[in-house]
Amino acid sequence: MASKTLFQSIRGAFLPSANTINEAGGTAYEMSPKHALAQYASTGCLNATFYASAEDQLGKVLVLCDQVEPEFIARVALYARQKGFMKDLPALLCAVLSVKSPGLLAEIFDRVIDSPKMLRNFVQIMRSGVVGRKSLGTLPKRLIVQWIESRTDEQLFVGSVGNDPSLADVIKMVHPKPGTPSRAALFGYLIGRNYDELALPELVLQYEKFKRNTNPGKVPVPDVPFQMLTSLPLTEKDWRQIARKGSWQMTRMNLNTFLRHGVFSDKELIGVVANRLSNPRLVEQAKAFPYQLMAAYMNVSSELPAAIGDALQDAMEIAISNVPHIDGKVYVCPDISGSMHSPVTGQRAGGTTKVRCVDVAALVAAAILRRNRTAEVIPFESDIVKCKLNPRDTVMTNAQKLSSLPAGGTNCSAPLKYLNAHKATGDLIVYVSDNESWLDSPNYGRFNGASATETMQQWNLFKTRNPQAKMICIEIQPYATTQAAERADIINVAGFSDQVFQLIADVANSRASENHWVKQIEQMKL
């Protein structure tokens, strides 16, 4: 009689064999070049991650750019900037286009390079030589000149914060011609050359007057970036003026600073700051990552007024307002393993974020639970971790509970195995992970391509009971492999902006098909 072990019946759909190993050494599925490029652009910050150096990421992105058409590179740059709110990778993709397709670069330049920070990123990348040239070139210079000419004097002055290169360095490189006396004076002021002081824009004059003032607290604080003021001798009255005028993002990032300088001893200012933080229009305009709000909430001093903490929680509710209500049973599986405790934007000398991958995963899980109170959250590492959450609690509270759970190795199949063991039924499974599963790989560290990943096998078993079920895998790190091969019922997406919630809604409402995310990017208008 033939071996029952060797020739056992295959249940469900035929499963594709794994075709690579991931960075952790586990068997995995390699993404297509288009999907992988989108993955890097939506999660990569060109900093060292748990498994890859910044140099490795850069090299892979450049290789992927050689494997796709320039039109897709342009669309990825637009998507990553406009939907994912990323900075470094969109600027890098624009630099790549300066070599591969200058015409396409001209088409998307203003939509991707939409701030002084983005302009400086683009110039820095171009001058580094990583895309094959160290000079800016004729067309990029013309685009930069046009960018400068389209800004007001005040916008250029406010945007002059930052170095390596500074906006002054950029002006020296491209030599824009001033069209007005005030622009000529501003250029001279910025690059350290002679200028007519009387012709300077009014905002620059206000700033210089404030700097020269020897009677602290008597001259109004100019409406300039916070970074221009912090090195000056500021009084408590000055700090209160700064807080009153501050932008939403500046306010979010400097709550403890305001506390130290006596801003919140003024009860009226407590209300001003709280109202600003929880203003729906300002939250939307700031393009805030929901995790940034969680980071602000986690890091604020216990001495801050309660109204400020409440305002941050209100802002979080606004930031996740597009989390969908999903019909049917939902399971959310946040990865809390050891690698997920690394910084979500990678390690950067002198500027590493305190927000970890596990914080983002916990936030997504808590946000879905908040909108779908019958959802079940199944955290996992080497196995599932039991954690009782109250869906009536705030997103902040539940996210903190999840992110503080103990960590171990990575076993992405553990939640599905648990559900199968309990013969669970369901309609949607949402994974939030770095997809670096290795504990469930029988041939850890080497690839033999003999079988599907354990996650796919467990998903196949789940589907035998729930043929209508779908799975969405949200990747929050710049790697190019997955544990679940893309197909009609499995959608792989990447990123940590609130755009992922719209993608979840697409999957839940049967608006998604195989390669849904790549198709969304391909619809970006050039």
Number of residues written out for the chain: 526
How far is the C-alpha of 52 from the C-alpha of 49, rounded, in Å? 5
For the four alpha carbons of 78, 81, 87 and 89, in that order, the dihedral sign comes to negative
Residue whose token pair is 């009387």: 198
Per-residue tokens: 426: 């369901």
Residue 492 · residue 484 · CB < 8 Å: yes
Which amino acid is located at 344 in the chain? V
Residue 364 · residue 334 · CB < 8 Å: yes
Strand pairing class (376-377; 27-30)? unpaired
From residue 373, give the alpha-carbon distance in Å to each of 164, 331, 333, 376, 518: 48, 11, 15, 8, 31
Opening angle at CA 425, ends 469 and 320, nearest 5:
65
Q: Which residues pair with 376 in a beta bridge?
A: 331
DSSP track, 146-183: HHHHTS-HHHHHHTT---SS-HHHHHHHH-PPPSSHHH
Tens-level pLDDT at each residue, the chain (526 residues): 455 444 444 444 578 999 999 999 999 999 999 999 999 999 988 888 888 888 999 999 999 999 999 999 999 999 999 998 899 999 999 999 999 999 999 999 999 999 999 999 999 999 999 998 888 989 999 999 999 999 999 999 999 998 889 999 999 999 999 999 999 999 999 999 999 999 999 999 999 999 888 776 678 889 888 889 888 888 899 999 999 989 999 999 899 999 999 999 999 999 999 999 999 999 888 877 787 888 888 888 889 999 999 999 899 888 887 788 898 999 999 999 999 999 888 887 766 777 889 999 999 999 999 989 999 999 999 999 999 999 989 888 999 899 999 999 999 999 999 999 999 999 999 999 999 999 998 776 566 666 899 999 999 999 999 999 999 999 999 999 999 999 999 999 998 887 888 888 888 888 888 899 999 999 999 9
What integer pLDDT is reported at residue 469 of this predicted model?
A: 95
Residue 41 · residue 86 · CB < 8 Å: yes
Per-residue tokens: 68: 């796709």
What integer pLDDT is reported at residue 5 of this predicted model?
A: 46
What integer pLDDT is reported at residue 506 of this predicted model?
A: 87
Domain ranges of the chain: 69-199, 230-318, 322-522
Q: Which fold has domain 322-522?
A: Rossmann fold (3.40.50)
pTM of the model: 0.90
Nearest in space to 514 (alpha carbons), one of 481, 475, 484, 483: 484
What integer pLDDT is reported at residue 444 of this predicted model?
A: 66
What integer pLDDT is reported at residue 12 of this predicted model?
A: 42
How far is the C-alpha of 416 from the C-alpha of 332, rounded, in Å? 11
H helix runs in 331-481, sequence order: 357-371, 395-403, 414-421, 454-465
What integer pLDDT is reported at residue 510 of this predicted model?
A: 82
